[in-house]
């Protein structure tokens, strides 16, 4: 089919998303045909495979070999365009220009993606088109960037007369220009394979192995009234952080606020990922580890660092670390220039399952925890479960306090926690991924229903199960590291269960069940285990300053059973004081 003059490439290449009939066959396979046996693919690859990269990367030669191994058809988008248009790519470029070609290329790729799974080799510029990248993501296909050293590519493409951009040009100069323009887009691919000057068979081995290892991240939408964002969780996300962030950043520039310990462990990986995606790192600021950094004084230091980096209101703040850094950097983003975008990159279990999701930010005051803060939702949350392997055992166990809370809120998750919690805190990656995913799923649903904790009963306030007690104990300990937040929550969960039982709301056996599980994890489950003296009156006074107090009345989240949780504003202070006295607190 030749192109009529004046009508352009689009006339010959209908867009499957705009008017193509439902039973229209997929584009013809001009080189390799589908096998006679149905492909057997893992679920992660059932959307097909799309190879991207600069000219000379070997997309076609690798793609054919990969397709044969996976029993899939192979297609080349340039060949499909030429077959549909009846013209070589060089002539299409010369006659209609690149913009027109990209529009037709997008249409062809969209049609292919709407067909059966295949291995698709794309032209070097295809992945730079935002519509094409979006179509690939929406189709469920796995994009693989074949990343090659430029000198090797220059040797391969020299003398290629069928590539219009190289005709009469120095290949190395052209490739350098293309790399600067295209590499940031290629970084959004799902998998990156670094290719050397090996045989195509060996390179195909590497690509196949990378596909077999690939675990697609889980994506959970937090649906809010004004806007929504995604919680992305799974292994290996930090190394891909730039490509994952790029689609949601208002501009390709960021400042990073990090826990100093985390920066030493993971800062280089994040810097490389940002550079790969063409995201400018304007500044990095490290804060001391620990709850003491959630203070007005440190907030001022962070604001000075952010505002001193020559930023504008499209510069995003990236929080790299645990809950302390997420709360602190998020609050700084909320107040700097009256609001900067920010991204949460939580690196502790506690932050991944709780504090990074929901938009609560803030710092502590002498009067209590998180009493100065703001609701400021992130652009996205990137929770890399692999980094949990670098956590000290105590930090990992502390994070389980929030997982256990989510289990008690949800019900079936509590049963799972009792069976799988010890394996998770021992480092079992599958158990940790499940804990993070299900915790985020629960919290995302609660936040979407009650973003600003305004529901008169229940709603987001239910996420404070165990926290009224836990925050009071934390404040009394002085945020000096002797008690971690998750440890305080663990003790608070047991006290909430005991208070529920004392008031006749739940089975008297439930507190013992909660206590046994937390001990199995290695968490403290009572104030007596902290080896310090607490005054019941002092703890009650701190609870009265809690954000959840309404009209001077103490409010607690109580249990009827796992999965049956409610807020109560009529709990007698005497009942709380009696419970604390029974737990060993002095008057």
- Between strands 342-346 and 380-384, the pairing is parallel
Please answer whether residues 204 and 66 qualify as being in contact, where contact means their C-beta atoms are separated by less than 8 angstroms: yes
* Ligand-binding site membership of 259 (annotated): no
Calpha distance 169→349 (Å, rounded): 53
DSSP 203-229: HHHHHHHHHHH--PPEEEEEE-SS-EE
219 labeled part of a ligand binding site? no
Query: Comparing C-alpha atoms, which of 460, 458, 484, 461 is closest to residue 471?
Result: 484
405 labeled part of a ligand binding site: no
CA distances from 98 to 8, 12, 108 (A): 12, 16, 15
Q: Annotated binding residue at 327?
A: yes
Distance (Å, whole) CA 207 – CA 211: 6
Rounded CA-CA distance 577/447 in Å is 32
| Residue 102 assigned to a binding site | yes
The DSSP output letter for 351 is I
Does 467 carry a binding-site annotation? yes
Could you tell me which residues are beta bridge partners of residue 146?
Answer: 193
CB 73 within 8 A of CB 26: no
Handedness of CA 273, 274, 275, 281 (dihedral sign): negative
485 annotated to bind ligand: yes
State yes or no: 406 annotated in a binding site: no
- End-to-end Cα, the chain, rounded Å: 91
Find out whether 450 is annotated in a ligand binding site. no
Is 544 annotated to bind a ligand? Reply is no
- Is 547 annotated as ligand-binding? no
> Which of 131, 93, 88, 94 has the alpha carbon at shortest distance from 109?
131
Backbone angles phi, psi at 76, to 5 degrees: -120, 120
Q: Is 256 annotated as a binding residue?
A: no
Task: Tell me how far apart the alpha carbons of residues 570 and 548 are, in angstroms, rounded to a whole number.
Answer: 13
Q: Is 326 annotated as a binding residue?
A: yes
What phi and psi, each to the nearest 5 degrees, are found at residue 44? Answer: -65, -20
Does 548 show up as a binding residue in the annotation? Answer: no
* DSSP string computed for 361-409: EEEEETTEEEEEEEE---SEEEEEGGGGGGS-HHHHHHHHHHHHHHHHH
Ligand-binding annotation for 533, yes or no, is: no
> 58: annotated binding-site residue?
yes
Tell whether residue 182 is among the known ligand binding residues: yes
d(CA 470, CA 486): 9
Q: What is the DSSP letter of 313?
A: T
Residues designated as active site: 338, 360, 402, 443, 453, 460, 464, 467, 471, 485
Distance between CA atoms of residues 574 and 296, nearest Å? 35
**Binding-site residue ranges for substrate:** 78, 102, 124, 182
**Binding-site residue ranges for NAD(+):** 323-327, 347-348, 360, 369
**Binding-site residue ranges for Zn(2+):** 402, 467, 485
**Binding-site residue ranges for Mg(2+):** 60
**Binding-site residue ranges:** 56-61, 78, 102, 124, 163, 182, 323-327, 347-348, 360, 369, 402, 467, 485
**Binding-site residue ranges for ATP:** 56-61, 163
């Amino acid at each position: 089919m030749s192109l009529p003059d004046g009508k352009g490439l689009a006339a010959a290449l209908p867009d499957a998303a705009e008017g193509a009939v439902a039973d229209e066959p997929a584009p013809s396979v001009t080189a390799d045909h589908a096998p006679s046996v149905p492909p057997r693919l893992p679920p992660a690859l059932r959307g097909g495979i799309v190879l991207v990269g600069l000219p000379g990367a070997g997309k076609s030669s690798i793609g054919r070999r990969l397709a044969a191994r996976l029993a899939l058809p192979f297609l080349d988008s340039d060949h499909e365009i030429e077959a549909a248009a009846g013209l070589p790519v060089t002539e299409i470029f010369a006659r209609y220009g690149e913009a027109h070609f990209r529009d037709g290329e997008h249409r062809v790729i969209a049609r292919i993606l709407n067909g059966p799974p295949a291995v698709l080799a794309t032209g070097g510029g295809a992945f730079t088109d935002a519509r094409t990248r979006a179509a690939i993501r929406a189709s469920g296909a796995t994009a693989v960037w074949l990343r090659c050293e430029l000198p090797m590519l220059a040797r391969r493409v020299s003398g290629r007369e069928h590539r219009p951009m190289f005709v009469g040009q120095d290949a190395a100069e052209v490739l350098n220009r293309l790399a600067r323009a295209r590499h940031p887009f290629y970084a959004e691919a799902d998998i990156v394979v670094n290719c050397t000057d090996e045989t195509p068979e060996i390179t195909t081995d590497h690509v196949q192995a990378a596909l077999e290892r690939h675990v697609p991240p889980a994506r959970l939408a937090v649906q809010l009234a004004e806007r929504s964002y995604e919680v992305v969780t799974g292994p290996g996300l930090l190394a891909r952080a730039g490509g994952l962030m790029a689609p949601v950043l208002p501009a390709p520039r960021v400042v990073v606020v990090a826990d100093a310990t985390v920066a030493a462990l993971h800062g280089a990986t994040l810097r490389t990922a940002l550079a790969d995606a063409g995201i400018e790192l304007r500044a990095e600021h490290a804060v001391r580890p620990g709850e003491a950094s959630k203070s007005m004084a440190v907030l001022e230091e962070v604001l000075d660092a952010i505002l001193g980096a020559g930023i504008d209101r499209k510069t995003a703040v990236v929080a790299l670390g645990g809950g302390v850094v997420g709360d602190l950097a998020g609050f700084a983003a909320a107040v700097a220039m009256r609001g900067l975008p920010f991204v949460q990159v939580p690196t502790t279990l506690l932050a991944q399952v709780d504090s990074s999701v929901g938009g609560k930010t803030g710092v502590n005051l002498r009067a209590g925890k998180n009493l100065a803060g703001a609701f400021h939702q992130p652009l996205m949350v990137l929770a890399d479960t692999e980094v949990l392997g670098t956590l000290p055992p105590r930090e990992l166990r502390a994070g389980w306090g929030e997982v256990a809370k989510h289990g008690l809120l949800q019900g079936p998750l509590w049963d799972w926690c009792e069976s799988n919690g010890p394996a998770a805190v021992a480092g079992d990656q599958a158990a940790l991924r499940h804990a993070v995913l299900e915790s985020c799923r629960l919290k995302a649903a609660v936040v979407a229903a009650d973003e600003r904790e305004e529901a008169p009963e229940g709603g987001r306030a239910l996420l404070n199960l165990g926290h009224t007690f836990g925050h009071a104990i934390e404040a009394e300990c002085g945020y000096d590291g002797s008690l971690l937040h998750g440890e305080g929550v663990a003790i608070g969960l047991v006290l909430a269960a005991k208070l529920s039982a004392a008031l006749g709301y739940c089975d008297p056996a439930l507190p013992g069940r909660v206590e046994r599980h937390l001990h199995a994890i290695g968490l403290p489950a009572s104030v007596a285990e902290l080896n310090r003296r607490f005054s019941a009156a002092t703890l009650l006074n701190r609870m009265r300053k809690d954000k959840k107090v309404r009209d001077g009345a103490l409010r607690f989240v109580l249990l009827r059973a796992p999965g049956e949780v409610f807020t109560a504003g009529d709990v007698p202070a005497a009942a709380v004081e009696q419970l604390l006295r029974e737990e060993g607190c002095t008057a």
